[in-house]
Structure 1
Amino acid sequence: MSSSMGFPLVMFIFLFHFLTCNSSIWAQKSEDVTIIINGTTPVSTTDENYICATIDWWPDDKCNYNQCPWGSSSVLNLDLSKATLEKAIEAFGPLRIRIGGSLQDQVLYNVGNLKTPCHPFKKMSGGLFGFSRGCLPMKRWDKVNKFFSKTGALVTFGLNALYGRHETKKKGTWGGNWDSSNARDFIKYTISKGYNIDSWEFGNELSGSGVGASVGSEQYGKDVIKLKSIIDELYNQSQSKIPILLAPGGFYDKQWFNKFLQVSGSSVVNAVSHHIYNLGPGVDRKLVNKILDPNFLSRVTRTFIDLQQTIRTHGPWSSAWVGEAGGAYNSGGRNISDTFVYSFWYLDQLGMAAKYNTKVYCRQSLIGGNYGLLDMNTYAPNPDYFSALLWHRLMGKEVLSVKSIGSPYLRSYAHCSKGNGGITLLLINLSKNTNFTIKLENLISLSMKNMTENTRLITRSLKSTFSWVGKKTTSNRPDLREEYHLTPKDGYLRSKTMLLNGQPLSLRSQGGGDSPRFSPALIEVDSPISIPSLSIKFVQLPKFDAPCCKRQV
């Protein structure tokens, strides 16, 4: 290529990248959208501690696409002395943490009668995921639990479900009974030390056709019965609170999940855990386009709907958990999964999963890979950390019905506000060039319009025809709403700096980091709600008339 042709081509590529990644360049237009909220009764509920993050087992030489983004972020080598890590977890008060991942079914626990030497993971040709078996020394487990106790984390631990099995002639399919001896010794040790485990999970991605390995649903059901028996026995002996049991921790396969619940039977599995990686491979060049495509984001609703039906039919004693979700698999998308643009996917997932009665949503990962909530090297929060923390502090467990009349590019979810009366509305604007103005309607107010004039006159003496109750806040100021508007720095969607109402978010650099304080914009409650293009907004409406939320105050 001649030099005269090369410069224009380079400039074209630069301008194309600049235009597609800067939200402020596109010609803007405005559009009205009506959102109707029904606050009479919740459509579903989440756990009080819905937000969860994972810590994986990957060693530092785990690589994808010629990059090795895990470093020292695993259960075995994470630097637990970092004050920033400690403060980041404490800020949730508490944060759920799930220990697990692809290598968990190759982890041995160096306790009891284990006859195999305790060696770390090493690369091995022909090994599952290219690695040998690894081992968790009890000295490390002690340190991990001391850290969790200090930070107040709620811990889910994923157990090795392949121990004792063998690969059959059919590649990737494992047969034989599960050998529970090592897990039993490990659980017994954990109880003896007084370590608080909120839940035990059985296996990782062994359901259906599996990822790397699979186990038949009938065998899996029989083995989880055995695990439940061990947990009940050991915790009853110690007179300790019995943790809940999660399974199977894999991708949803209707036939497999149905059979698994049928075999395991009533009240064995407390939560049916499944994984979500709906964005495809992290190397996909269209990853950002997928994130900003409402039709693409909605495809995964089928999984939530079908799992709901499976639980209603075959396991009504259990609930649904998203045990692991990273959006893009194989460690996420470099310079995408740890930037502002990923919060469009992440917050939409939190809202969608909650609507379909998911109790807990575990993000892959707390730290490590390209999709960590915390930066692997500095431990500083990435944008999705603040999205998760805002959700945790603002969104209560009661999920409300929301009907949006207008553009599909405006995604909206509503919950009872956490710890307060009223509701919190989450608005996600995926449009590159449209600012939306929201007309918010309360189904209660709309129902009033169908009443007789006399009845409405009587009702008006009791409450406003607007969606608000009362004229003053506790501060004796005119009714105000709180807005938390999230945008990327300089309008650059792949920025690692998230702005809240125009101000950069970070952990305070005092004593190694402090809990972030989110300062809302205070807006007159009856003024229009707007959401600019390619941005996110939490809107807290303390006087919204939602009877099911009043009962929670």
Structure 2
Amino acid sequence: MGSQIWLLGLCFWMCVFSFISVSSKALVGDGTVFIDGKAAIGRIDDDFVCATLDWWPPEKCDYGTCSWGHASLLNLDLGNNILLNAIKAFSPLKLRLGGTLQDKVIYDTPDDQQPCVPFANKSSEMFGFTQGCLPMNRWDELNTLFEKAGAKIIFGLNALYGRSIHSDGSAVGAWNYTNAESLIRYTVGKNFTIHGWELGNELSGNGVGTRVAADQYALDTVALQRIVQNIYKEIEPKPIIIAPGGFFDANWFKEFLNKTSKSLDVVTHHIYNLGPGVDQHLVEKILDPSYLDGEANTFRSLHNIVRSSETSAVAWVGEAGGAYNSGHNLVTNAFVFSFWYLDQLGMASSYDTKTYCRQTLIGGNYGLLNTTTFEPNPDYYSALLWHRLMGNNVLSTSFSGTKKIRAYAHCAKHSKGFTLLLINLDNSTTIQVKVAFNRTSSSRHKHKFHRKHIRLPQGYKSENDREEYHLTAKDGNLHSQTMLLNGKILTVNSSGDIPPLEPLYANSSSPISVAPFSIVFAHIPNVVPPACR
């Protein structure tokens, strides 16, 4: 009798353990990414990845949190070795210098007669701060770092200088460019290299704080272009002219582009589509494919306006932090934000956006680098992998299967074949992804594919294996600020060196396995689409 009870007990526990084992197995699904490789649907700059440096002083606080510390252009530790190495790793990294307070900055050039007074907190002032100043010795120090790091600099000029702000919130009158012209002359006299001069910050459309009408902004942009042409008349290449650095407003941008067709090189817009940093639903939005898809409307509309205009200007995202008012700690500076960030890079590219500037390199709660330690946050490594793997030509891509997979493909960078970016927003299902090529053409961005397709050839030799870079959060925690590459923690060493980003190798005939809440870059060198030849 005792032995029978023992056997029944054993059977019971075996059944329990069997149930636990079965129920704990990760779910597995499959799907196919279709790539139309006949022609590129867009083309990005070699230095597509860009980051910003801002003007906010330590007193800048949002919702009771002060997240800027000493990350301003005016107080950043320019001698930090991690900062230098982080910029150098891109060779080059575009840096856009600007932000909300740029339209309140005076340049303390030898021609300027005003006292050089720093920003001071004052709630009655626009943006909560008084007018600030850029000392020329600080400008010299910044340019020394930029030259050493090999950065390409875009400087945002004060576009409100000389205007008056009316009671209706509009800024009227012509731009007084004398102080900006003095800075440009000083910069040329010092042989500092500037890639582009940008006019103003968030003054387009309804503006932020204030606004400038499109026709007046166009006149001011024409004036900037003439100043640059005159000062750089003996210098080649000349800096590019960039504007307006504001939020997209279709009618405003259309008028502005039509009136700057011969003066403007780059039209810039800003993206904060997740709402305020205080929003408690940021992660839900980031993990919602439908919400992510919404920003395509902005890219599509601007792309169509640029194409239908007589302008020769190209589109950039000049600033994008996702969540405005400095982001949200442990969201916009954590692993989960790479889902939003890389999806943005992929989406922007597919609409022929040439450059994408992330707010910020350092500062606030959305920096690529930690504001205090300078240690790279997860998005830094996402950006660096994109920069090294995703080439100029953008391929039309769609995914058949779960809606939780985001898929983008480019010709490989400085290498044969193409690179595929896969983002899995599902929390429990591993997706086995097959790659197929469309045999017929597809309509632009709609990704409609013929049922017949060419599968990747079988039986590749080992030297033709694909390279895979699997990105995951430490301990599976989406709020972690530590990223793993192929299971290994990414961190700088004691000398502040950026770690090597080394791939795994997989047989090209096998599906790509994309784990739950993970990101995969896959470089497939032995298939070269026509668009990549």
Pairing of 1:61-460 with structure 2 (within 5 A): 61-170=59-168, 172-236=169-233, 238-264=234-260, 266-444=261-439
| Structure 1 residue 219 displacement after superposition | 0.6
Q: Percent identical across equivalent pairs?
A: 49
Post-superposition offset of 1:479: 2.8
Deviation string 1:84-115 (CA, Å, 9 cap, x unpaired) is 11011111111110000000000000014322
State which of 452, 456, 474 in structure 2 corresponds to 1:467: 456
Which deviates further from its counterpart, 478-487 or 283-292?
Answer: 478-487
Distance 1:81 1:184, change over 3 A: same
Q: Is the partner of 2:308 in helix, strand or coil?
A: helix
- With normalisation by structure 1, the TM-score equals 0.88
Which ranges in structure 1 are unaligned for 5 or more consecutive residues? Answer: 1-24, 452-464
Q: Normalising to structure 2: TM-score of the pair?
A: 0.92
| Alignment check: 8 A CA contact 2:460 2:507 kept | no
Going from structure 1 to structure 2, the CA distance change for 1:540 and 1:141 (only over 3 Å counts) comes to: same
Report the AA paired with residue 499 of structure 2.
Answer: P
Q: CA offsets, 1:322-363, max 9 Å, x none?
A: 000000000001111111000000000000000010000000
Q: SS of the counterpart of 2:175?
A: coil
Preserved contact between residue 414 and residue 423 of structure 1 (Cα < 8 Å)? yes
Please give the alpha-carbon distance, in whole angstroms, between the structure 2 residues aligned to 1:166 and 1:113.
Answer: 23
Distance (Å, rounded) in 2 between the aligned partners of 1:318 and 1:113? 33
Q: The residue matched to 1:215 in structure 2 has which SS?
A: coil
Number of equivalenced pairs? 504
Given the superposition, is the C-alpha separation of residues 29 and 445 from structure 1 closer, same or farther in structure 2, using an over 3 Å criterion?
farther
Structure 2 gaps of 5+ residues are 1-22, 442-448
Which residue of 490, 496, 501 maps to 1:518?
A: 501
Do 2:459 and 2:509's aligned partners in 1 also have CA atoms closer than 8 Å? no
Match of residue 523 from structure 2: 540
Instruction: Please give the residue correspondences for 1:469-508 in structure 2 after superposition, counting only pairs within 5 Å.
Output: 471-472=460-461, 477-508=462-493
Cα deviation digits, residues 394-429 of structure 1 (max 9, x gap): 110110011211221100000011111101000000
Mapped partners of 2:452, 2:156: distance in 1: 54
The one-letter amino acid paired with 2:30 is D
Distance verdict in 2 for CA 1:164–1:344, change over 3 Å = same
Within 2, Cα distance between the matches of 1:27 and 1:441?
A: 28
Are the counterparts in 1 of residues 332 and 365 from structure 2 also a CA contact under 8 Å? Answer: yes
Q: Distance in 1 between matches of 2:43 and 2:211?
A: 32
Query: Contact conserved, 1:442 with 1:545, CA < 8 A, in 2?
Result: no
SS at 1:211 equivalent: coil
Q: What is the Cα deviation at residue 196 of structure 1?
A: 0.4
Could you tell me how far apart the structure 1 residues matched to 2:281 and 2:204 are? Answer: 29
Q: Aligned partners of 1:153, 1:209: CA distance in 2, in Å?
A: 33
* Mapped contact 2:458–2:509 kept (Cα < 8 A): no
- The Cα of 1:117 is off from its aligned counterpart by 1.0
Q: Note the alpha carbon deviations across 1:490-544, whole angstroms, 9 max, x for none.
A: 11110111000100001232xx222321111111111121211111000110011
What's the CA shift for 1:310? 1.2
Deviation of the 1:40 alpha carbon: 1.7
Shift in CA distance, 316/30, structure 1 to aligned 2, threshold 3 Å: farther
Q: Deviations over 1:117-143 (max 9, x none)?
A: 110100123211010000001000000
2:491–2:498 Cα contact (<8 Å) kept: no
Change (3 A) 1:309 1:336: same
